[in-house]
Amino acid sequence: MSAQHSPAPRPAAQGAPYDALLLLSFGGPEGPDDVVPFLENVTRGRGIPRERLKEVGRHYYLFDGVSPINAQNRELLAAIRKDFAEHGVELPVYWGNRNWAPYLTDTLREMVADGHRRILTLTTSAYASYSGCRQYRENLADALAALEAEGLPLPRVDKLRHYFNHPGFVRPMVDATLAALAELPAEVRDGAHLAFTTHSIPTAAADTSGPVEAHTEDGRGGAYVAQHLDVARLIADAVREETGAERPWRLVYQSRSGAPHIPWLEPDICDHLEELHGAGVPGAVMVPIGFVSDHMEVRYDLDTEAAAKAAELGLPVARAATVGADPRFAAAVRELVLERAATERLAAGDADAAPGAGETGPTAPRRCALGSLGPSHDVCPVGCCPARTPRPAAAGADSPYA
Ligand SMILES: CC1=C(CCC(=O)O)c2cc3nc(cc4[nH]c(cc5[nH]c(cc1n2)c(C)c5CCC(=O)O)c(CCC(=O)O)c4C)C(CCC(=O)O)=C3C
Ligand SMILES: [Fe+2]
């Protein structure tokens, strides 16, 4: 990589003031030799029991040490670039990860070397939680600190709002749920229940997810659970309208780790399948609404483990596809980027801030959101999704960086 710094490129008009988009994700191993170092990166200082790590390592070795997540991100990158090109959005799109190459710090260094100073970030987590939001913001702060230590110019880094309730995220999941229902034997289809699944997190982390005013006590789950419930309800309603059949649904959890005495969100998908079977329910569709793409949690915890549980019970199940690189999701990313860009221009007093600005002056951009919660905040407020041990986090109201 060249160490020379070219002058900052003129921001592409449509995305101005932003000059680049950063896809920020988790990262995953790409072969057997990567598995242990990857898990060391993931769990650095997080107190995950050794037994659990061995277990998780085993999941990866079953797939030759290859997580599907990097390939999925490459596809998403391609889909976003294609959509941007088709709509004249000239922002270059970069990719960096928290736990594996391409590492976030390397990507950010490259972006700065390419002259970018105003960066907008899309994370591959749609919901509020420490793991899905603030931890990525901490990673951004760490990367900025590394650049600062190297004496490099620091870009300003913002993060897109949570997109769980954006139609470009929800509608592909509705179609995927309908497609999964169609995979079930015809005689169980109408009576099948919908099991919406997401990553379990400690109830303490769930209760403090989202802005302070969304925090809860007693394990009700804060913004994390409220956002997932809203998405589940939206999909269940759309599926009912489409099929004419009312199907009971429930939000359940998967991929629990941590020490057994610490409460995490429940019930687990496998226990839930057992309960459905015990109650005489004829079949179920698992809809992994908590995951943007089919990564290891989906391929192992659902397609391998939960599927085996269902087979053992004799319960017909199907699993709905994740959003992945669906063109509607790529279009949603474009809409979110242009929305935020317009909001930033408006805040900066730019006269033609929003599309549709005319003689009446600048108008606020349309903020698309389905469901009952409305569009999420653009900037995470102070106290949002707190860490157990406070650390600097960028791209939020409490960022030590501009
Ligand atoms: C909310 C959430 C998301 C969704 C939001 C997002 O997408 O960010 C997510 C994503 C992911 N989690 C992933 C992998 C892992 N997560 C772990 C551990 C943990 N996840 C947690 C939460 C979440 N995790 C938590 C509270 C822990 C425990 C302690 C800790 O906070 O570390 C561990 C350690 C072993 C274990 O405990 O299982 C691994 C290996 C992968 C990659 C998969 C692949 O390779 O395809 C992805 C996309
Ligand atoms: Fe995780």
Q: What is the C-alpha separation between 71 and 60, in angstroms, rounded?
A: 15
What is the residue with the minimal CA distance to atom 39 of ligand 1?
Answer: 42
Contact of 201 with 262, CB cutoff 8 Å:
no
Per-residue pLDDT of the chain (402 residues; tens, 9 = 90+): 444 455 544 444 789 999 999 999 999 999 999 999 999 999 887 777 778 888 899 999 999 999 999 999 999 999 999 999 999 999 999 999 999 999 999 999 999 999 999 999 999 999 999 999 999 999 999 999 999 999 999 999 999 999 999 999 999 999 999 999 999 999 999 999 999 999 999 999 999 999 999 999 988 999 999 999 999 999 999 999 999 999 999 999 999 988 889 999 999 999 999 999 999 999 999 999 999 999 999 999 999 999 999 999 999 999 999 999 999 999 999 999 999 999 999 999 865 555 554 444 557 899 999 999 999 999 999 999 999 999 999 999 999 997
Atom of ligand 1 nearest to the CA of 26: 48
Looking up tokens 């960086």 gives 401
Q: Residue 167 phi/psi, 5° resolution?
A: -55, -30
- What pLDDT, on a 0 to 100 scale, did the predictor assign at position 177? 98
What is the residue with the minimal CA distance to atom 33 of ligand 1?
Answer: 42
Task: For a ligand 1 pocket test, name from 40, 42, 61 the mutation site with the most ligand atoms within 8 angstroms of its C-beta.
Answer: 42
- What pLDDT, on a 0 to 100 scale, did the predictor assign at position 1? 40
The three-state secondary structure class of 119 is strand
**What is the β-pairing status of strands 20-25 and 156-159?**
unpaired
Looking up tokens 């087979």 gives 311
Count of other CB atoms within 10 angstroms of residue 360: 7
Q: What is the pTM of this model?
A: 0.93
Distance 256 CA to ligand 2 centre (A): 9
ipTM confidence:
0.93
Supply 369's token pair.
């959101």
Ligand nearest to the CA of 136: 1
Distance 376 CA to ligand 1 centre (A): 23
Contact of 268 with 254, CB cutoff 8 Å:
yes
Q: What is the C-alpha separation between 112 and 155, in angstroms, rounded?
A: 7
Distance 65 CA to ligand 2 centre (A): 17
First to last CA, the chain: 27
Could you tell me the domains of the chain? 13-28+67-161+326-347 (3.40.50.1400), 167-319 (3.40.50.1400)
Contact of 86 with 333, CB cutoff 8 Å:
no
Separation in Å, CA 172 to CA 207, 251, 252, 367: 29, 18, 20, 19
Q: What is the C-alpha separation between 201 and 266, in angstroms, rounded?
A: 9
Cα dihedral sign, 392-369-104-323: positive
- What pLDDT, on a 0 to 100 scale, did the predictor assign at position 158? 98
Q: What is the C-alpha separation between 191 and 185, in angstroms, rounded?
A: 11
Residues having CB closer than 6 A to ligand 1 are 26, 28, 39, 42-43, 46, 48, 52, 56, 67-69, 124-125, 129, 131-132, 199, 201, 257-258, 295-297
- What pLDDT, on a 0 to 100 scale, did the predictor assign at position 352? 55
Q: What is the C-alpha separation between 112 and 109, in angstroms, rounded?
A: 5
